[in-house]
Amino acid sequence: MSDWHDDELERLQEALRPLRYEPRRAELEARLTPRVPVRVVAWRRYAIAAAVLLTVGASAAAYLYQRSPGWAIASTDGEVRLNWSSRLTRVLRPGGQLETASGRARLQVGNIGELTIGQNSRIRLVESSSYQQLVSLEHGEIRASIVAPPRQFQVLTPAAKAVDLGCAYTLNVDMDGNGHLEVTMGWVSFEDRGRQSFIPVGAACRTRKGLGPGTPYYLDAAPGLISALEQVDFSVQPAARLAARKSLLPLARRRDALTLWHLLARGTEEERAMTVDRLIALAPLPTGVTREALLRLEPGALQRLWDGMNLGPGAWWKLWGFTPPPAPVVRR
């Protein structure tokens, strides 16, 4: 009896075996995991691809931008305003503007030198090429240190253009556009509409908007001479200009022949005559140069007088294929 019951129990268990409980983990996990629509998955893939392309594109653009013509921004200190591209690449390109408030900036001028921009200044890079480096100084102060062939580096201001002749100098421009330039090495030519002033190391020159560059003078000249030049160069009153010239001529030293040479072509015939006489009193005229030739502003006489002043740059300029013009253009 017992064996029969055991056999029946086994047959019943075997019949019920397909119906026994078994855990369905995969099915449960699938039910518990939220389904992500196919469209969302595709959107995420597109977004990731777009981000990668954007990153690669930005990196390539930055690389090309840095290798394109422009001035590298070597350093900034304090508040300096730049456009977004210059901030990104640390390169100021033609058309780009840099403005300092309480800050300062230092730029590499191609491979020929550097430019330091002082506080409260605004510059704009006009051109940067292997032939020409041209920047505009609207207002403020810059310090340039350049080693390059003459005229390759130039600075535009509202009142004149500073043309580098291989030098270092400081240039200030006020909010009215008037400027003042001091040379610490080499020479600079201050130019405007045919009027030129040649400024050597240790000398300075002022310029006024609408009038152009004044007369260069050595920084150690008599204070009275420097003060009188303000009237000689920029006064609108002929009588004031004449009186100022009469006051400065006796103060001129032989070294101040630089100033008197520039004054020859700036003024009336009477003013020119008194200037020539002061030059003759300071030193004999070079061989072949006469008083009458200087009064007529003969180019050859003016050139020989310049060479005879032993200022030093004549031969150096000629090595670069550049010589100073005979004299500034008379504009009165």
Considering the domain architecture, whether residues 141 and 250 belong to the same structural domain is answered as no
* Choice between 157 and 57, residue whose per-residue pLDDT is larger: 157
pLDDT score of 165? 86
pLDDT digits (tens, 9 = 90+) for 50-97: 554 555 444 444 444 444 579 999 999 999 999 888 888 999 999 999
| Lowest mean pLDDT across 23-32, 132-141, 239-248, 268-277 | 23-32
Average pLDDT, the chain: 83
pLDDT score of 46? 56
pLDDT score of 1? 47
In a domain, 50, yes or no: no
Residue with tokens 């045919």: 194
Q: Which 8-state DSSP code applies to residue 250? A: G
In a domain, 2, yes or no: no
* Choice between 95 and 46, residue whose per-residue pLDDT is larger: 95
Which ranges constitute the DSSP H helices of the chain? 2-16, 25-32, 38-67, 84-89, 223-234, 238-248, 257-263, 269-282, 291-295, 299-308, 313-319
| Lowest mean pLDDT across 66-75, 162-171, 175-184, 246-255 | 66-75
Considering the domain architecture, whether residues 284 and 153 belong to the same structural domain is answered as no
Find the mean pLDDT for residues 302-309: 89
> What's the token pair of residue 153?
């580096």
Q: Would the pLDDT of 37 be above 70?
A: no
pLDDT score of 11? 66
Under the banding of pLDDT at 50, 70 and 90, the label for residue 22 is low
In a domain, 307, yes or no: yes
Find the mean pLDDT for residues 297-321: 71
At 331 the three-state DSSP class reads coil
pLDDT score of 324? 43
pLDDT digits (tens, 9 = 90+) for 250-293: 999 999 999 999 999 999 999 999 999 999 999 999 999 999 99
Find the mean pLDDT for residues 197-205: 95
In a domain, 17, yes or no: no
**Domain end position, chosen among 182, 214, 246:** 214
pLDDT score of 17? 64
Q: How many domains does the chain have?
A: 2
**Domain end position, chosen among 214, 243, 266:** 214
In a domain, 228, yes or no: yes
Considering the domain architecture, whether residues 160 and 228 belong to the same structural domain is answered as no
**Domain end position, chosen among 188, 214, 240:** 214
Find the mean pLDDT for residues 111-115: 94
Find the mean pLDDT for residues 321-325: 42
pLDDT score of 26? 52
Rounded CA-CA distance 159/210 in Å is 6
* Choice between 12 and 279, residue whose per-residue pLDDT is larger: 279
pLDDT score of 309? 85
Measured N-to-C along each axis, helices 269-282 and 238-248 cross at an angle, to the nearest 10 degrees, of: 10
> Which domain CATH number covers 156?
2.60.120.1440
Considering the domain architecture, whether residues 196 and 69 belong to the same structural domain is answered as yes
Find the mean pLDDT for residues 289-316: 83
Q: How far apart are the first and last CA of the chain?
A: 146
- Domain extent at residue 275: 222-332
Percent of the chain with pLDDT over 90: 64
**Residues 6+ away with beta carbon under 8 Å from 260:** 249, 252, 275, 278, 279, 282
pLDDT digits (tens, 9 = 90+) for 228-252: 999 999 999 999 999 999 999 999 9
Q: Would the pLDDT of 44 be above 90?
A: no
Q: Could you give the C-alpha distances from 191 to 57, 123, 145, 199, in angstroms and in order?
A: 45, 19, 19, 11
pLDDT score of 130? 86
Considering the domain architecture, whether residues 160 and 229 belong to the same structural domain is answered as no
Q: Look up the pTM and report it.
A: 0.75
**Residues 6+ away with beta carbon under 8 Å from 17:** none
b/e code 254-272 from CB counts within 10 Å (16+ = b)? ebbbbbbbbbbbbbeeebb
Considering the domain architecture, whether residues 82 and 131 belong to the same structural domain is answered as yes
> What dihedral do alpha carbons 116, 119, 125, 129 form, nearest 10°?
0
Rounded CA-CA distance 124/181 in Å is 19
* Choice between 316 and 25, residue whose per-residue pLDDT is larger: 25
Considering the domain architecture, whether residues 88 and 205 belong to the same structural domain is answered as yes
